[in-house]
Amino acid sequence: MKTLFAGFLSLFVLITITFFLIYAIPGGPFSHSDDKLTPRYVLDRINERYGLDQPVYIQYINYLKRLVQGDLGISYTKLNTTVNEIVAQGFPVSARVGSVAVIWAVFMGVTLGILSAIYKNTFIDWFCRVFATIGVSVPGFVIAVFLLYFFAVKLGLFPTYGLNSLKGYVLPVAALSFMPIAYISRLTRSNMLETMEQDYIRTARAKGVSEISVVLKHALRNSINPIVAYIGPLIAALLTGSFVTERLFVIPGIGRFFVMGITDRDYTVILGMTIFFGGLLILCNIVMDMVYAIIDPRIKFQK
């Protein structure tokens, strides 16, 4: 119960802070600079229609009432479209790409980290470390542009846009997973090197345990906790999409709606996307806490 209560409390604080920060900015969703020709009484009627003429605290209370019922509100800029419909439309697309990216990032990151730790100070270790350094240093949009230009435009191996075939997933997944692979590999390597020096590893080897069992059963299992801690936020981030990646590869995911909401000053879309991402992040962290307890029995999960 403690973990669930902390999760709900965190979400409530996130909603409150985001709501009042949005309304603290001068102007509104219908007061753009290009609307100077719109009569004032028309703007007043529009604000009245959406309840924007009421005091902020009244709008906050009304929003919470709708939110408790699962209603994220109606978009101010997309005609006759609710935020629930936007989420239902964009999230499945982002989730398909993001789930593949998460699996690929974890598999490749852990694999490279293990190889780098086992073959310390060799060419394999050097290659993995250089790759990890590039991965965490180069911005994601640079990687995405390079992949798009080289593999799609120049070589023509993959489509330049859309998810109409399995090939369409390759470049977006590679772009999304490049940095996580690098980070996970560095994390795995550093923890593996520390674990491999422990006495129980020497004891296992002295007993004649195979090197594969020593690495996977003993060393990796006792080095994986920091990796699991990173996977929680990673899942939430990749499942909710990346605006740059979705924009470059023309993927109709959920990430673009968040940026469009900010650009258009669409209050309900901004709040809805923030709540959705925050709720997913909290859920992933709770699940990772459960995984902690399974991996390491010494850690007790607080329900």
Do residues 19 and 157 both lie within one domain?
no
Largest CA distance in the chain: 85
Residue 159's pLDDT is 86
Do residues 213 and 240 both lie within one domain?
yes
Residue 256's pLDDT is 78
Residue 36's pLDDT is 53
The answer to whether position 73 is within a domain reads: no
Residue 104's pLDDT is 93
Do residues 97 and 174 lie in contact, with contact meaning Cβ atoms separated by under 8 Å?
no
User: HSE (CB half, 13 Å, CA atoms) of 191?
Assistant: 23
The answer to whether position 220 is within a domain reads: yes
The answer to whether position 300 is within a domain reads: no
User: Which residues have C-beta within 8 Å of that of residue 225, sequence separation ≥ 6?
Assistant: 292, 295, 296, 299
Cross-strand pairs, 82: 74
Using alpha carbons only, give the angle 299, 115, 122 rounded to the nearest 5 degrees.
Answer: 135
Do residues 282 and 160 both lie within one domain?
yes
DSSP state of 152: I
Number of domains, the chain: 2
State the residue range of the domain holding 54.
2-68
CATH code assigned at 206: 1.10.3720.10
The answer to whether position 92 is within a domain reads: yes
Residue 105's pLDDT is 92
Length of the chain in residues, anyone?
A: 303
Do residues 95 and 239 both lie within one domain?
yes
Residue 33's pLDDT is 46
277-291 CB burial, b ≥16 within 10 A, e <16? bbbbbbebbbebbeb
User: Which residues have C-beta within 8 Å of that of residue 138, sequence separation ≥ 6?
Assistant: none
CA distances from 71 to 85, 136, 197 (A): 10, 38, 54
The answer to whether position 81 is within a domain reads: no
Do residues 225 and 295 lie in contact, with contact meaning Cβ atoms separated by under 8 Å?
yes
Residue 103's pLDDT is 92
The answer to whether position 117 is within a domain reads: yes
Do residues 149 and 284 both lie within one domain?
yes
- Which residues in the chain land under pLDDT 70? 1, 27-28, 30-44, 47, 241, 293, 295-303
Of 37, 68, 99, which residue is a domain's last?
Answer: 68
CA separation for the pair 138, 89 (Å, rounded) = 31
